[in-house]
A = this chain, B = another copy of it.
Amino acid sequence: MIVETLARAGLGVVLAIGLGACNTTIRGTGDMGLIVERASSSIQVVETSNLTPLYQVAGLGDLSHASAVFSRDGRYAYLFGRDGGLSKIDLLQGRVTKRVVQAGNSIGGAISQDGSMVAVSNYDPGGVRIFDAESLTLLADIEARDAPDDPRSKVVGLVDAPGQRFVFSLYDSGEIWVADMSDPRDPQVTRFEDVGVQPYDGLITPDGRYYIAGLFGEDGIVLLDLWDLEAGPRRILDGYGRGEEPLPVYKMPHLEGWASAGDVLFLPAVGRHEVLIVDRRSWREVGRIALQGQPIFAVARPDGRQVWVNFAHPNNDAVQVIDVVSRRVIKTLKPGKAVLHMEFTPRGEQVWISARDDDRVKVYDTQSFAERAALPAEKPSGIFLTARANRIGL
């Protein structure tokens, strides 16, 4: 493979672009991914078999807090920028095939179970816009308000769910909405009001059953069982929210950073130097583990044996590894300055870690903790692998 050979020689990013589409595209997409380079409005397309960069794609707008989902065939990435930009990127050819600026201020997106629709979560104008995944034409515009005269709410915590559904939270009005997109032009929205003050983020469990929203305005968490909508949202983990917190909170943890390992969840504590352990049956806290800083992401290795944690400033040069059985920290790594994100390969043998202020992405062997590669990147933040195309809620 020409591209890989060049790339292994460290020239892939420069020279691959010079090759014809044909030569550059004869490869599988199951081992590909992208690294967000937030400061330069670009991404790097990478592959995890030889740990090489393949392309750099630029001109992608404001990529602070950018995230990505993938087409069901793994060929295309949909990149969600902070400036409302939605970019469809051909990973095989290293180029933008379509790009729309669909709102003024956005915060992530999702792709439908069947891969036919891409949804974007917007702050301004507040709501969710849903696009055809092939053409990026607008299919539906769900305004986050009850009546045309009401102000719109910011929308957060948007995820996909089985049954062609999207689930999201309304920050300003304190609601959770479930949109059934079985008819793409006619969303059927189920609304849950008064779920709590200022839901600021959400996640869905890996099986697609439970939607969980964190509350910024009060203590606690809201849980919605998507298998039993009639039961409605219920409060769990009172005291988890920021209200509990006497220490300064440098950064609210991402709920996407809740690790599901076996029968328990590992949650970054808000402000505290701890992760909380929560039983998945009772939704009660069953333990805490002390850490070296304020956790941001707690991510389970795909086999659930380890949980890897990164941290808020000023302890953000380290990553700690928790052994799930002994519930102890078994390793502290120093990947570099300002560790922002961690992504495992789908079967868990590698983890990719971005160190923004060192302009490096490091790849570690998760069993030996050996450093396998250090890839140059411009202020890297999020790392996303195509295997996400096969997962519910990612």
Interface membership of A386, Cβ < 8 A: yes
A48 nearest in chain B by CB position = B72
Given A72-B49, A73-B47, A281-B263, are A305 and B162 neighbors across the interface (CB < 8 Å)?
Answer: yes
Q: How large is the interface on A (under 10, 10 to 19, 20 to 34, 35 or more residues)?
A: 35 or more
Contact B25 A26 (CB under 8 A): yes
Q: Which of A124-132, A211-219, A312-320, A342-350 contacts B (4 or more CB under 8 A)?
A: A342-350
Least CB distance from A29 to B in Å reads 4
Interface membership of A43, Cβ < 8 A: no
Give the residues from 38 to 77 in chain A that come closer than 8 angstroms, CB to CB, to chain B.
47-49, 70-76
Q: A29: which of B70, B74, B163 is its contact (CB, 8 Å)?
A: B74
A74 nearest in chain B by CB position = B30
Contact B113 A347 (CB under 8 A): yes
Interface membership of A22, Cβ < 8 A: yes
When distances are taken between beta carbons in the complex, the residues of chain B under 8 Å from A349 are 113-114, 162, 164
Chain A interface mostly: loop
Interface membership of A151, Cβ < 8 A: no
Interface membership of A303, Cβ < 8 A: yes
Given A28-B74, A73-B31, are A115 and B49 neighbors across the interface (CB < 8 Å)?
Answer: yes
When distances are taken between beta carbons in the complex, the residues of chain B under 8 Å from A262 are 207, 209
* C-alpha spacing A30/B386, complex, angstroms: 8
Give the residues from 2 to 55 in chain A that come closer than 8 angstroms, CB to CB, to chain B.
21-22, 25-32, 47-49
When distances are taken between beta carbons in the complex, the residues of chain B under 8 Å from A391 are 346-347
Least CB distance from A389 to B in Å reads 5
Q: How many copies of this chain does the complex contain?
A: 2
A160 nearest in chain B by CB position = B347
* C-alpha spacing A113/B347, complex, angstroms: 6
Interface membership of A390, Cβ < 8 A: yes
Q: Looking at A22, A28, A303, A348, which has the most chain B CB atoms within 10 Å of its CB? A: A28
A93 nearest in chain B by CB position = B26
A394 nearest in chain B by CB position = B347
Q: A71: which of B28, B74, B347, B392 is its contact (CB, 8 Å)?
A: B28
When distances are taken between beta carbons in the complex, the residues of chain B under 8 Å from A303 are 162, 207-209, 392
A70 nearest in chain B by CB position = B30
Q: A25: which of B25, B30, B302 is its contact (CB, 8 Å)?
A: B25
Interface membership of A92, Cβ < 8 A: yes
When distances are taken between beta carbons in the complex, the residues of chain B under 8 Å from A348 are 113, 162, 392
Least CB distance from A96 to B in Å reads 16
Given A49-B72, A346-B391, A347-B392, are A305 and B26 neighbors across the interface (CB < 8 Å)?
Answer: no
Interface membership of A304, Cβ < 8 A: yes
When distances are taken between beta carbons in the complex, the residues of chain B under 8 Å from A346 are 389-391
Q: Looking at A74, A76, A114, A347, which has the most chain B CB atoms within 10 Å of its CB? A: A347
A32 nearest in chain B by CB position = B73
* C-alpha spacing A175/B390, complex, angstroms: 35
Contact B26 A21 (CB under 8 A): yes
Contact A27 B207 (CB under 8 A): no
**11 examples of A-B residue contacts, CB within 8 angstroms:** A27-B73, A28-B75, A29-B29, A30-B70, A30-B73, A31-B73, A72-B347, A113-B349, A162-B348, A208-B303, A227-B305
New A-B contacts (13) at CB < 8 Å, excluding given A30-B74, A74-B74, A263-B263: A22-B22, A25-B26, A28-B73, A28-B91, A30-B73, A30-B386, A32-B73, A48-B72, A164-B367, A207-B304, A209-B262, A209-B305, A227-B305
